[in-house]
Amino acid sequence: MENNSGKDIKRITCFLPKGAGIRLVEMLHVEKNIDATNVHTGRGLRTVESVKDYGAWSEQDVLTVVVDAERAEEVFEFIFFQGELNKPGGGFIYLTPLIKASHYTLPSIEG
Amino acid sequence: MSLREITVLTDIALITCIVQRGVADTIIQAAREAGAQGATVHFARGMGVRERLGILGVAVEVEKEVIDIVVSKEQVERVFERMYLAGNLDTPGMGIMYITSLEKAATYIPPDVLGKFSSDKDEKAPKESC
């Protein structure tokens, strides 16, 4: 069983409309084989673009993904487009480096 | 802009502020007055100074609100200071805040805003004379 700590690691965080977080977690698992994800909920105040946006709190998902630096760009782009962050009200995504992170790999159970 | 393009934002920072439950709205109001565009808040449970204050610790709420605000590096000092003052963070037990430097970020940017930036860039570019 491997449980190494990695040093060249990035964290991707995104603020998403409610419900989009879990959908992305599943997509990251199936399509990118990434399981170092976490989703929690909060409330968000979006950028004011019209009068109706004033004081308009909405429920939001906050998705956090820890990835190797070499895959960071690919995963960033994947989340941006699959999470439809390129559309109005789609949310916000950012990337930040980490100093150190645990890196757990599931053991192979095949005989 | 085609749908497959990402407009990457750089020179930005994340301000995280952890305060007692119920205080976040006042701090966010101050941040917006200082130029912040948006904010996200979630609940958490915290400990630390409450335990060290002894009997006075009962005045510190265990339930916390965590505020995340992304701002440009130009604005970050001003927004941070306004939030600090609004939350009375110089008082023990009121909370903590910190700034994280972000490598890059992305979101939907309206075409008219993008157009404005590209036209500004064109104006600043040196013009060739014939």
Smallest CA–CA distance from A88 into chain B, residue: B108
- Evaluate whether residue A4 is within a structural domain: no
Q: Which residues of A touch B (CB under 8 A)?
A: 10, 15, 40-49, 60, 62, 76-77, 80-81, 85-97
- How many folded domains does chain B comprise? 1
Nearest CA to B42 out of A64, A76, A35, A67 is that of A64
Per-residue model confidence as pLDDT tens digits over B28-74: 999 999 999 999 999 999 887 777 778 888 878 889 999 999 999 99
Give the bridge partners for A62, in sequence order.
A15, A40
Whether residues B37 and A89 touch (CB distance < 8 A) is answered with no
Please give the residue range of the domain that contains residue A27. Answer: 12-101
Yes or no: say if A43 and A19 are a contact pair by the CB < 8 Å rule. no
- How many folded domains does chain A comprise? 1
pLDDT higher than 80, residue B130 = no
CA–CA gap between residue A64 and residue A49 (Å, rounded): 27
Contacts of A96 in chain B (CB under 8 A): 14, 100-103
ipTM over 0.85? The verdict is no
- Evaluate whether residue A76 is within a structural domain: yes
CA–CA gap between residue B103 and residue B11 (Å, rounded): 8
Mean local confidence (pLDDT), B14-26: 95
Smallest CA–CA distance from A40 into chain B, residue: B42
- State how far Cα B91 lies from the chain centre: 21
- Evaluate whether residue A60 is within a structural domain: yes
pLDDT of res. A106: 67
pLDDT of res. B66: 96
Which CATH number belongs to the domain containing residue B79 in this structure?
3.30.70.120
- Evaluate whether residue B129 is within a structural domain: no
- Evaluate whether residue B3 is within a structural domain: no
- Evaluate whether residue B57 is within a structural domain: yes
Please give the residue range of the domain that contains residue B32. Answer: 8-124
Of the residues B65, B68, B107, the best mutation for testing chain A's interface (the one with the most A CB atoms within 10 Å of its CB) is: B107
- Evaluate whether residue A106 is within a structural domain: no
pLDDT category of residue A1 using cuts at 50, 70 and 90: very low
- State how far Cα B107 lies from the chain centre: 15
Smallest CA–CA distance from B68 into chain A, residue: A44
B10 touches chain A (CB under 8 A): no
Whether residues B103 and A89 touch (CB distance < 8 A) is answered with no
Which CATH number belongs to the domain containing residue A60 in this structure?
3.30.70.120
CA–CA gap between residue B11 and residue B127 (Å, rounded): 27
Whether residues B104 and A43 touch (CB distance < 8 A) is answered with no
pLDDT of res. A46: 77
